[in-house]
């Protein structure tokens, strides 16, 4: 099984317990980011391959998460290590649009040394996460959001301290994007 096969294509999220402050979700549109890349960066992105892995540190191990969350990450998320190489520009199988696929599961860009990979990744990731490509969702209890993982990145915004926030996610498989 490859990394892409291991991570489903759609997420359905539902807000159950929502904080009064913080806890929003940011979604970045990878298709718009790819379409709007300046020409020289678009040519570079078209030629780049990345090595992706599930070893991303979900909790930061800085003590801000619970020991239970640390155990969950160790026992479930990284109990089997997946890794795969694929082009960072992928074609969505349904509309045929090009999407710039990066995110923090990218271990490195192939063919570059670690420092060069990190610099180019930061430049491309900053472009994806630019305000023109991002929508911010302020959750209310009962909200439902559907995200196509082939076209979007997401990030939960912290800032709610010890307040309870429960957003559940169901994942659904779909056709895999191609290079």
pLDDT digits (tens, 9 = 90+) for 67-124: 666 676 667 666 777 788 989 999 887 778 899 988 878 888 999 999 999 999 999 9
Burial class (CB in 10 A: 0-12, 13-18, 19+), 179: exposed
**What is the pLDDT at residue 94?**
78
| For residue 17, pLDDT beyond 60 | yes
- What is the reported pLDDT for 18? 93
Confidence (pTM)? 0.76
**What is the average pLDDT across 5-31?**
84
Task: Kindly state the DSSP code that residue 168 receives in the 8-state scheme.
Answer: E
Q: Is the pLDDT of residue 30 over 50?
A: yes
The residues pairing with 93 across neighbouring beta strands, listed in sequence order, are: none
Res 66: pLDDT: 62
**All domains of the chain, ordered by start, with CATH?**
3-172 (3.60.130.10)
Which of 82, 89, 84 is CA-nearest to residue 48? 89
pLDDT at residue number 59: 46
Mean pLDDT confidence for 9-36: 91
Write out the H or E segment, with its range, that includes residue 155.
strand 152-156
């Amino acid at each position: 099984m490859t990394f892409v096969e291991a991570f489903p294509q759609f997420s359905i999220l539902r807000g159950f317990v929502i904080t009064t402050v913080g806890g929003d979700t940011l979604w970045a549109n990878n298709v718009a980011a790819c379409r709007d890349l300046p020409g020289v960066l678009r040519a570079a992105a078209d030629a780049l391959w990345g090595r992706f892995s599930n070893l991303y540190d979900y909790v930061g191990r800085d003590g801000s998460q619970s020991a239970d969350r640390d155990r969950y990450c160790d026992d479930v998320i990284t109990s089997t290590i997946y890794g795969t190489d694929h082009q960072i520009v992928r074609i969505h199988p349904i509309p045929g649009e090009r999407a710039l696929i990066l995110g923090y599961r990218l271990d490195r860009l192939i063919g570059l040394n670690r420092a060069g990979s990190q610099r180019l990744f930061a430049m491309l990731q900053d472009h994806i996460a630019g305000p023109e490509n991002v929508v911010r969702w302020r959750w209310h209890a009962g909200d439902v959001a559907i995200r196509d993982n082939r076209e979007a990145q997401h990030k939960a915004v912290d800032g709610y301290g010890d307040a309870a926030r429960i957003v559940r996610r169901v994942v659904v498989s779909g056709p895999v994007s191609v290079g």
